[in-house]
Chain A
Amino acid sequence: MKVLIIGDSHTGALKRGLDKLTESADPSVGPSVGHDYLIRPLGPGANMAFPFWRADADSIEITNEDYHRQMPCVPPPRMRQPDAIGLCMPMWWGRSVSNMGKARVALAGLPSGRAISYAVFRQMVLADMAHVLGLAETLQARGFETFAVEPPSAFRDNRLAPWFGMDWLLGHIKAHRAIMTEAMAERGIPIIRRPDHVSDDEGFTLQQYRHPDPQDAHHANADFGIVMLHQIEGYLSHAEQPATA
């Protein structure tokens, strides 16, 4: 099965994980993957809140200049006919949380900002994700098995936590997850979840999955990528099984 995974910078952990699984002879790294993966980024997620693609009858062109340099169209020339396409972008909470911080607002009940309603936050999240959701819908409508891949939750040393507080950070991540889960369910697009064991009781991603760069407090490492690839493998294996009467 040919699997294309595209998205924001969190595709980096998946790529590192795939490389580690492929290159390592150490069985403790985990079972190798059984599908043919191509994992490529479009670019940093910052501009995914704005129009970055357009579809015509034959293709889906990436229109954002920077993203286009990474990938001119979806699917890209290197994998014209994937059997499944994973999107590592719809579940990224970072922009929405950052938008809350920049506006100095907070969901009602959370600290560190002027209170706004859940409904207003929902509108902000859906507006931020409008183009990503549109891409997911379009891929699905064109017959590609489409799914979303969750990025890590925040790490405990997230840069925003000292300024806005842990509760503020985790509260918005949780709300974002709920809103996007609902949005994806409405579209019939499955989400490959990060398993519970990668997070602590509060919801922070465990430090063992932290990026090797000590200055990078928000990307995950190859081990997180491996965990998520195994989650994807599990989903694809299930999806491949013929339906029983």
Chain B
Amino acid sequence: MDHPYRGQPAKAYWKQTVTPHHPQDVPDWYHKRFSLDGARIATAGSCFAQHLGRNLREKGFNYLDVEPAPPALPVEKRRDYGYELYSARYGNIYTSRQLVQLIQRAQGEFAPLETHWEHEGGVVDPFRPTIEPEPYGSVAELQILQKEHLERVAEMLRKMDVFVFTMGMTEAWLSLEDGAAFPLCPGTAGGEYDDGKYRFHNLNSAEVRADMEASISTLRAINPDLKILLTVSPVAIMATATDKQVAVANAYSKSLLRTIAGELHDAHDFIDYFPSYEMVTAPFMKGYFLAPTQREIVPAGVEFVMKHFMAQHRPPIGAAGDGVAGAPAQPIKARPLPTRPAPGEKPAAKPAAAEAQPGSAEEALALDDVKCDEELLDAFGKPDP
């Protein structure tokens, strides 16, 4: 007797796909729904999204970074200051409510009443309180940087062809005044917790679905061809504000987000789902990729996940960004100085550039170096014997 299962491929059967294989050799995790070739890709979301973004950037995809680090900021400091984590410096976006409100703020459709939190003698941005390790010196500085940031986010929304979003959790801290969603509980990294101003809310499935649909609708209004790639972070929540045990609360968050991601994938043909969550947390993986904390993912786990991602989305060969996006800013390197005359030799004629007024900012920036060399030759002549 025929029935629908008969026509299913091997990957549909546990006994053929999971049972006979070593967990790390289980095949067919993911088949892409659309290509990333040539697409300008932006990333956002919970912390696991940082790995995706870094890999996309390093592998030469056309990765969008609208707030690149100044090259003179040391590479080892950049992530501490919120650079090169995501396509803009929004920090971690844990909840669907944060995402929809970030889009609204960037579009000028929502201006939260809460403008700053005081912290350690300065102020922090309530919507990215840990984006820099030190607080800003003044509210004015914060407001300028916040405005700049939201303008860049708006730029990102206009430019991106593919938006990769990693869903993190459902537990949110909201303003009682206007519903603004904060990434962290007020009082933990700035501000002061006040029951009269804030409330905890564990988003339910209808709310997450509505937030995501609203985000998708706005994003597709900006770019009707936009494609979206969803993932769910396999990193467990750090703590819960519910009365549940943390692992139980984590299961609620992750299973709800996984469900919504699946629903969105089924509802929209421009949405893909990449199962990084399952690759790490499936029971048969036996927690192999979990750090000793049983929460974070070890580098081998990230590598495993990205191997499956890259198997479907082949990195461009020898590719770099198109100038809008691309590789992180390269650190500044020492450069050879202009040739000096040998002792006793007359200095060469001044470089032509030094005689002319700079015709561009680049020329102006370069000319002073030439002048330094001339000044030394004029003032001191040959090197000290």
Binding site for B on A (CB under 8 A): 8-9, 11-13, 15-16, 40-41, 43-47, 49-50, 64, 66, 69-71, 76, 78, 94, 96, 98-103, 105, 108-109, 114-120, 123-124, 127-128, 159-160, 162-164, 211, 213, 215-219
Does A47 lie within 8 Å of B335, measured CB to CB?
Answer: yes
Is A159 within 8 A of B368, CB to CB? yes
Complex contact B77–A108 (CB within 8 A): no
Known: A40-B380, A114-B148, A215-B355. A102 touches B371 (CB 8 A): no
| Contact yes or no, A49 B137, CB < 8 A | no
CB distance A120 to B372 under 8 Å?
no
Q: Which residues of A contact B71 (CB under 8 A)?
A: 99, 102-103
Q: Can you list, as one digit per residue, whether each of B359-385 has a CB less than 8 Å from chain A (1) or not (0)? A: 011001101110111111011100110
- The answer to whether A120 and B379 have CB atoms under 8 Å apart is no
CB distance A12 to B375 under 8 Å? Answer: yes
CB of B72 within 8 A of CB of A128, answer yes
Distance in Å from the Cβ of B337 to the closest Cβ of chain A?
5
Neighbour of A218 across the interface among B74, B77, B336, B371, CB < 8 A: B371
Using known A-B contacts A105-B70, A123-B74, determine if residue A211 contacts B375 with beta carbons closer than 8 Å.
yes
| Contact A162–B364 (Cβ < 8 Å) | yes
Number of B residues near A (Cβ < 8 Å) is 49
Which residues of chain A are near B145, meaning CB under 8 Å? 108, 115-117
Contact A123 B81 (CB under 8 A): yes
A124 to B72 Cα, complex, angstroms = 6
Enumerate chain A residues within 8 angstroms of B372, measured Cβ to Cβ: 8-9, 44-46, 219
A127 touches B371 (CB 8 A): no
Cα–Cα distance between A163 and B384 once the two chains are bound (Å): 38
* Sampled A-B contacts (7; CB under 8 Å): A12-B380, A44-B372, A46-B337, A71-B384, A117-B136, A127-B72, A159-B358
Indicate if the CB atoms of B70 and A66 lie closer than 8 Å.
no
Complexed CA–CA distance, A99 and B372 (Å): 16
Pair count A-B, CB < 8 A: 151
Closest to B334 in A: A50
How many Å lie between the Cα of A211 and that of B374 in the bound state? Answer: 12
Q: Which residues of A contact B148 (CB under 8 A)?
A: 108, 114-115
A47 engages B132 (CB within 8 Å): no
Q: Which of B144, B335, B358 contacts A115 (CB 8 A)?
A: B144
Is A9 a contact of B132 with CB atoms below 8 Å? no
Q: Nearest Cβ distance between residue B132 and chain A, in whole angstroms? A: 6
**A-side contacts of B367, CB under 8 Å:** 159
> How far, in angstroms, from A114 to B152 measured CA to CA in the complex?
9
CA distance A120 to B137 in the complex (A): 12
Known interface pairs A11-B379, A128-B72, A218-B371; 14 further A-B residue pairs with C-beta atoms within 8 A, sorted by A's residue number = A9-B379, A11-B380, A15-B379, A44-B369, A64-B334, A66-B337, A96-B72, A108-B145, A108-B148, A116-B70, A118-B137, A163-B358, A163-B360, A215-B350
Residues of chain A within 8 A of B21, CB atoms compared: none
| Other-chain residue from B333, B361, B373, B378 in contact with A101 (beta carbon distance below 8 A) | B361
B375-A98 in contact (CB<8A): no
> Does B354 sit within 8 A of A, measured CB to CB?
yes
Q: A102-B365, A115-B145, A123-B74 are in contact. Are A47 and B334 (CB under 8 A)?
A: yes
- A117 lies within 8 A of B141 (CB): yes
Which A residues are in CB contact (< 8 Å) with B334? 46-47, 49-50, 64
Give the distance to chain A from B219, nearest Cβ to Cβ, in Å. 23
Partner among B81, B333, B376 whose Cβ is within 8 Å of the Cβ of A43: B376
Say how far B331's CB is from chain A's closest CB, in angstroms.
Answer: 9
B340 close to A (CB within 8 Å): yes
Query: Given A50-B334, A103-B329, A162-B364 in contact, is the A124-B70 Cβ separation under 8 Å?
Result: yes
Query: Which residues from B are CB-within-8-Å of A101?
Result: 361, 364-365
Please tell me if the beta carbons of B374 and A213 are within 8 angstroms of each other in the complex.
Answer: yes
Instruction: Please pick, from B140, B335, B354, the residue contacting A46 in the complex, using a CB distance under 8 A.
Output: B335
Contacts of B376 in A (CB 8 A): 9, 12, 41, 43-44
**A119 and B340 within 8 A (CB):** no
For the complex formed, measure the closest distance between the CB of A216 and the CB atoms of chain B, giving whole angstroms: 5
Assembled-state Cα–Cα distance A12/B373 (Å): 11
Residues 85-136 of B contacting A (Cβ, < 8 Å): 132-134, 136
Q: Give A59 Cβ to nearest chain B Cβ, in Å.
A: 16
Partner of A109, one of B140, B364, B379: B140
For the complex of A and B, 3 pairs with smallest distance between CB atoms? A12-B379, A44-B372, A99-B72
Q: Which residues of B contact A164 (CB under 8 A)?
A: 361
Contact status A40-B384, CB under 8 Å: yes
B73 in the interface (beta carbon within 8 A): yes
Residues of chain B lying within 8 A (CB to CB) of residue A128: 72
- Which residues on the B side are within 8 Å of A218 (C-beta)? 368, 371
CB of A217 to closest CB in B, whole Å:
8
The answer to whether B374 touches A216, judged by C-beta atoms less than 8 angstroms apart, is: yes
| B364 adjacent to A215 (CB under 8 Å) | no
B134 A119 Cβ-Cβ under 8 A: yes
